[in-house]
Amino acid sequence: MLLLIKKDLVIHKLSWLLYFAMLLFFMMFNKDVLFVVAIMSAIVIMNTFHFDELANGNKLWNSLPFTRKEIVSARYNTLLVVLIIVTTVAMAAARIINGEWSSAFSSLAIWEEVIGSFIVMTVSASIFFPLVYKFAQKKTIFTFVLLFIGTSIAGAYAVSYLYKYLIESTSIIQSMGNGLYWATLAFGSLVCYVLSWGLSLKIYKAKEFI
């Protein structure tokens, strides 16, 4: 499985330079870490699906001594690795550009932004990964790429604005406490991710590659 994860990272080659340039561009415009991590992670992981589909990668990986469980599991683990990489770079960029860990315009603490980006990406992936494994083909994969990226961006804003609304207009967060609030959302998103993982595996095992 480690080879498959490495493949998912190396497949981008010099595109990583473009990804990091885009990340710095967003950070220079005072975008929140939550927004930047969500959009960049979405771009990286969906480009992995895109490259694989265009190159008939699924046929190749299934002809090699990898089980379908390993192939699917590697993709889900790759997203987590990408999240760590992008979050680390975004936080470093925020520190250098803004002189602090997060954007000056963000109402969230840095740890809340990191957890928020994890929630957005795991929920988005939970929805789209099974759809991609079930329906994506060469002619449709780019549509899924755009939908996934769009959903991730919308999710980043939704998490941020929901938090602002709850903390200003209700007593939910005050009664729960910030830590419990974010922990509950993170746990729920992780449960969705694991269930999606199992669904994708079931779909992929039943799929035929001609």
Q: What is the largest CA-CA distance in the chain?
A: 56
Q: What is the pLDDT of residue 210?
A: 58
Q: What is the pLDDT of residue 106?
A: 53
Of 13-22, 47-56, 122-131, 168-177, the one with minimum mean pLDDT is: 168-177
Q: What is the pLDDT of residue 131?
A: 93
The residue-averaged pLDDT of 140-145 equals 85
Distance, CA of 128 to CA of 111 (rounded, Å): 26
Half-sphere exposure of 51 (CA within 13 A, CB side): 14
The structure tokens listed for 80 are: 């987590």
Q: What is the pLDDT of residue 167?
A: 80
Does residue 157 carry a pLDDT above 70? yes
Does residue 37 carry a pLDDT above 60? yes
Name every residue whose Cβ is closer than 8 Å to that of residue 104 and which is 6 or more positions away in sequence: 30, 98
Q: What single letter denotes the amino acid at residue 194?
A: V
Of 118-122, 126-130, 206-210, the one with minimum mean pLDDT is: 206-210
C-alpha distances in Å from residue 61, one per residue of 3, 52, 70, 145, 194: 11, 10, 10, 21, 23
Q: What is the pLDDT of residue 105?
A: 44
The structure tokens listed for 99 are: 């002189």
Asked whether the whole model's pTM tops 0.85, one would answer: yes
Residue 43: give the domain boundaries.
2-206
Summarised one tens digit per residue, pLDDT across range 58-113 is 788 888 888 999 999 999 999 999 999 999 998 888 878 766 555 444 557 788 88
How many domains are contained in the chain?
A: 1
Distance, CA of 97 to CA of 28 (rounded, Å): 7
Q: What is the pLDDT of residue 104?
A: 42
Q: Band of the pLDDT at 189, cuts 50, 70, 90?
A: very high
